[in-house]
Structure 1
Amino acid sequence: MNKKIIALAVTAAAFGTQTHAVELYNDNGSTFSIGGHVSVSAKGNSGDVYNSDSKAFESGGTDIIANSPRINFNATQDLGNGFTADAKGEWSLNYLDGGANSFTTRLGYIGVTHETFGRAVAGTQWSPYYDVAGIADMPIAFANDFLYDNHGALGTGRAENMVSYRNDIQLGDNLSIFGGLGWQDNATSGFDSRGQVAVGANFADFMVGYSYNAGDRTNGVIGTKEATSHALSAKYGSYGNGLYVAAVYTMNEYMHGTSNYNTNAVLANDIALKDSDGIEFIAAYAFANSLNLSINYESVESSDKVADGTVYSQMAFQAEYNITPKFVTFAGYQVDLGSDLYEKENDMWNMGVRYYL
């Protein structure tokens, strides 16, 4: 297994702009570190915002938000014979509205890694599907929305109650192939157990990948259906280091719903769309002074007979600048390119700072 892949796996870093951790203990094959980040930003919009609770559009404005802050604890232990065990706990933080529900779980798992035999993980974790489909989910302000539609239960992002296996086989100095398997014992109401597989190849600075994700879900309108997704992706480069280009295309059945995108009385019950396609593309360039400029496009298209057409489409222009390696400023403007399910359009902006622990 590629040593660089092992290092990333053991430190349990998810995709993102940067990863940091402060090592507090390192002795006799055991380590313990704390990481995460906190952010504060102003986020606004040019139109009305859909409220999923009231099923209506409401006047927007400018809000102070936290941009997915989290704190994590990471431990590793040398087991001997080339095996390393690791454990991670990560919690989202709520520090802007009085501390209600201050900590909620994002990740929690135990893993065992071997350079030859690969890596096995049990718990709430980033899924093998996300290894392939998450390569465009990079900027701080606006990124890959369609991956996070019930992602914990569908296993498209952080997958709950998952057992997974991954390996990366080096075939030469610049060529490797990788694969992953995942199985979820779903505890979320309306979702049954799920399985997924991911395969791909790395060649120099290029990567191509494919993943398949399947399992039943029950929806009040459609009944019980098998929700499946095929994800194809490709990328060049490393985000935050010169040129980075990535694209993701997903073909889905009963994976995406409608409730967040319209107020039509027929669709307000959150119908799981029979057929939908997701597209995400990003192009970014990081200059030597750490200024990183990017443009990304995302859309979800449906061919469902009840909700036929564009569910949503949007494009964002973004910038991130590292004042220090741990203190980052960011700004983004997202243009709403329209939907066939509703007429209202809503451009959004977000600007703020992030501090990595």
Structure 2
Amino acid sequence: MKKTILAAAIATLSTSVYAVELYNQEGTTFSIGGHVSANLNGSEQGDTDVGTNSPRINFNATQDLGNGFTADAKGEWALNYLDGGDNAFTTRLGYVGLTHDELGRAVVGTQWAPYYDVAGVADMPIAYANDFIYDNHGALGTGRADKMISYRNGFEFGEAGAFNFGLGWQGANDEREYDESEAYKSGYKYDDRIQAAVSYSIAGFSLGYTYNTGDFTALGVTKRTAESHLVSVKYGTYGKGLYLAGVYADNENMNYDGSTLLADSNAYEALASYALDNSLNLIVNYEMVEGKQFANSQKETAREELALQAEYNFTPKFVGYTAYQFDLNDANNNQTDDKWLIGARYYL
């Protein structure tokens, strides 16, 4: 049995597909990465407008510490280059990591959580992807987790596959806001939050499970528990031939119906894509969240969408994309709003 950290851990967790290396000498590297995008988007109920899809810039550094240890640091900021103003940059990631091939990887800071290692298998397309993961994901650690300490490691068994696991912890954090009279206005106060994730991969298939929980105080006085059990399965590599992925989550106080927190919810995501030899990737994905606001109320559909998408690599760093998303949630006379977009992304 060979024990190993996830392959290319630093590169994978950096979320940078490409980066420009500016310095590489005596065990130290420094690079700049990210991407910018622009698209024309509209909807059945709205106007056509110019938008973006998660543009960002990041700085990455690594240092060989010897004895098999490598330290790395990352800062990543979202770019607001269409509207201007004072908020041109907002923080996405900021962490320091330490990796060893045998002892694993530890990270401190705002980072992609172990939960996302399992939940993010269907969060692949540029245009429309796995939205329910991002319901307050920073505080609840389901996507980019704020102020987290994490640890990951794994075991390889040769042709018998590989087992990986991750642990995450977020400390207490008060995000409540008050008006001028010191009356509660909005936000939550969070107690300690913990999560664990495991996955097993063999012959192109991967099966994963993750658990996430923590208490928080809502409306200034009411304490609730956020909890998620999520399983996922995938096959293949996105952008290379056939890729299939599915996600199911059983959640409490994790998802939203608009601005309303759901006391109990179930979330589903399915993705199928096929990348041709000419780099054209054809994609279909489906997402649904159903839940109830109170323990004794009836479960209803919060959102349900089906999207048809296509991505094409004109060059390795320049990708065109287009998509049409059908809003399927017409329950209780909801007014549906189909969406579409066409755009391009350039990787730095």
Q: TM-score, normalised by structure 2?
A: 0.91
**Residue 68 of structure 1: which of 50, 54, 57 is its match?**
54
Answer with 170-179 or 232-241: which moved more. Answer: 170-179
Indicate the residue corresponding to 1:350 in structure 2.
Answer: 341
Structure 1 residue 350: Cα displacement: 1.2
- Whether the aligned pair in 1 keeps the contact of 2:14 and 2:74 (CA below 8 Å) is no
Q: Distance in 1 between matches of 2:162 and 2:7?
A: 13
Query: C-alpha deviations, 1:221-269, integer Å up to 9, x for none?
Result: 99211110001000000000000000000000111122x2xxxxxxxxx
Q: Distance in 2 between matches of 1:23 and 1:204?
A: 33
- Whether the aligned pair in 1 keeps the contact of 2:159 and 2:202 (CA below 8 Å) is no
Indicate the residue corresponding to 1:23 in structure 2.
Answer: 21
Structure 2 residue matching 1:140: 3-state secondary structure = coil
Structure 1 residue 193: Cα displacement: 2.1
Structure 2 residue matching 1:160: 3-state secondary structure = strand
Quote the RMSD (CA, aligned, Å).
1.7
Structure 1 residue matching 2:133: 3-state secondary structure = helix
**Residue 299 of structure 2: which of 305, 308, 313 is its match?**
308
Q: Distance in 1 between matches of 2:82 and 2:194?
A: 37
User: Structure 2 vs 1, CA of residues 249 and 300 (structure 1 numbering), >3 Å: closer, same or farther?
Assistant: same
- Whether the aligned pair in 1 keeps the contact of 2:60 and 2:75 (CA below 8 Å) is yes
Structure 1 residue 186: Cα displacement: 4.5
The correspondence of residues 159-238 of structure 1 with structure 2, limited to 5 A, is 159-173=145-159, 175-187=161-173, 188-189=175-176, 190=188, 191-220=190-219, 223-238=222-237
The correspondence of residues 73-88 of structure 1 with structure 2, limited to 5 A, is 73-88=59-74
Structure 2 residue matching 1:281: 3-state secondary structure = strand
Answer with 167-176 or 78-87: which moved more. Answer: 167-176
- Whether the aligned pair in 2 keeps the contact of 1:192 and 1:215 (CA below 8 Å) is yes
Code of the residue aligned with 1:7 in structure 2: it is A
Indicate the residue corresponding to 2:273 in structure 1.
Answer: 284
Structure 1 residue 12: Cα displacement: 3.4
Structure 2 residue matching 1:135: 3-state secondary structure = helix
Structure 1 residue 204: Cα displacement: 2.0
Code of the residue aligned with 2:225 in structure 1: it is E
Structure 1 residue 185: Cα displacement: 1.8
**Residue 139 of structure 1: which of 118, 125, 129 is its match?**
125
- Whether the aligned pair in 2 keeps the contact of 1:161 and 1:186 (CA below 8 Å) is no
Structure 1 residue 307: Cα displacement: 5.9
Q: Distance in 2 between matches of 1:342 and 1:217?
A: 33
Q: Distance in 2 between matches of 1:12 and 1:179?
A: 14
User: Structure 2 vs 1, CA of residues 12 and 131 (structure 1 numbering), >3 Å: closer, same or farther?
Assistant: closer
Code of the residue aligned with 2:95 in structure 1: it is Y
Structure 2 residue matching 1:292: 3-state secondary structure = strand
Structure 1 residue 284: Cα displacement: 0.2
Indicate the residue corresponding to 1:130 in structure 2.
Answer: 116
Indicate the residue corresponding to 1:257 in structure 2.
Answer: 256
- Whether the aligned pair in 1 keeps the contact of 2:13 and 2:112 (CA below 8 Å) is no
Structure 2 residue matching 1:134: 3-state secondary structure = helix
Structure 2 residue matching 1:139: 3-state secondary structure = coil
Structure 2 unmatched runs, 5+: 177-187
Query: C-alpha deviations, 1:61-90, integer Å up to 9, x for none?
Result: 112111110000000001111111000000
Q: Distance in 1 between matches of 2:269 and 2:100?
A: 33
Q: TM-score, normalised by structure 1?
A: 0.89
Q: Distance in 1 between matches of 2:65 and 2:307?
A: 46
Q: Distance in 1 between matches of 2:253 and 2:269?
A: 19
Indicate the residue corresponding to 1:266 in structure 2.
Answer: none
Indicate the residue corresponding to 1:338 in structure 2.
Answer: 329
**Residue 322 of structure 1: which of 313, 318, 324 is its match?**
313
Code of the residue aligned with 1:354 in structure 2: it is R
